[in-house]
Structure 1
Amino acid sequence: MLGLAAARTIVAEALDHARSLDLPPMTVAVLDAGGHLVTFVREDGSSLYREAIARGKAMGALGMGTGSRTLQARAAAHPEFINAVTVLAGGALVPVPGGVLIRSDDAGRLVGAVGVSGHLPDADEACAVAGIVAAGLSADTGAGS
């Protein structure tokens, strides 16, 4: 189970990482394994669609069972499939890096996902990973899929 304390750590550390890289205002959404929002933060100045993008990255990763980096590769190879799934998901699938599955440190059980939006996808993903690792959990970006 992904608790509120761990989710808050993920958000705080993701934002700290963004500040260390001097990134623009960021938005972070943390979902549990059932897709329920555990916590969400939008920094002052974060643009309008960042909330939907962050949630879409996290929800897409959960819904497809892989980090959004894999979804980006699938979108390039099979755009019709990803477009169809995005429609089925009501638009809640953003196939670019920044949606990272959260796995427990024991046995790698899926406990949730984090979505980060605010800069280029690779930087968003790095912020998500930093937050997950700081919470003592494992980050699954989909890079190995």
Structure 2
Amino acid sequence: MIDLDTAKVMVTEARKKGRDLGLQPLAVVVIDDGGHIKAFEREDGASPGRFDIALGKAYGAVMLGMPGSAQMARAEAQAYFMTAANGVFGGKLVPVPGGVLVKRDGVIIGAVGVSGDVSDKDAEAAVAGITAAGLDPVA
């Protein structure tokens, strides 16, 4: 389980990493292992649509049990699978880096989704947030 205080640490530290890297304004969302939002922040200057993208990155990671980078590779290798999966989940998946699984003791307990800059940099910010909270990222 991800408690609210831990989720807030992940959001704060992901945003901090974004500032340290000079990224564009970010939206950061933390969800639990059921896909429910625990915490979210959108930085000043980040477009409103960044929430849905960040959520889609995190949601896809949790629902498929694979980070955004693996989803993107799967979409490139088997587009029909990701298209079908996205249909099953009502079009909520965004299969690109920036959706990072959160594990504790080898068990998936949620995900962090980041959107605002290029996807690989979004993932880097998410990993920083997860690590700062003492948890294990799977990017």
Above 0.5 in TM-score?
yes
Structure 1: how far apart are the matches of 2:45 and 2:89? 28
Structure 2: how far apart are the matches of 1:9 and 1:89? 28
Code of the aligned partner of 1:116: V
Corresponding residue for residue 45 of structure 2: 45
> 1:13-37 deviations in whole A, cap 9, x for unaligned?
0000000011111000100111110
Corresponding residue for residue 126 of structure 1: 124
Please state whether the residue corresponding to 1:39 is helix, strand or coil.
strand
Structure 2: how far apart are the matches of 1:2 and 1:110? 10
TM-score when scaled to structure 1?
0.93
Gaps of 5+ in 1: none
Corresponding residue for residue 58 of structure 2: 58
Shift of 1:48: 2.6
Equivalent residue pairs, number: 139
Percent of residue pairs bearing the same amino acid type: 48
Stretch deviating more after TM superposition (85-94 or 2-11): 85-94
Code of the aligned partner of 1:124: D
Gaps of 5+ in 2: none
> Would you say 1:5 and 2:5 are equivalent positions?
yes
Equivalent positions of 1:41-120 (< 5 A) are: 41-104=41-104, 107-120=105-118
Structure 2: how far apart are the matches of 1:126 and 1:140? 11
Structure 2: how far apart are the matches of 1:91 and 1:128? 22
Structure 2: how far apart are the matches of 1:47 and 1:86? 23
Structure 2: how far apart are the matches of 1:109 and 1:63? 14
Code of the aligned partner of 1:49: G
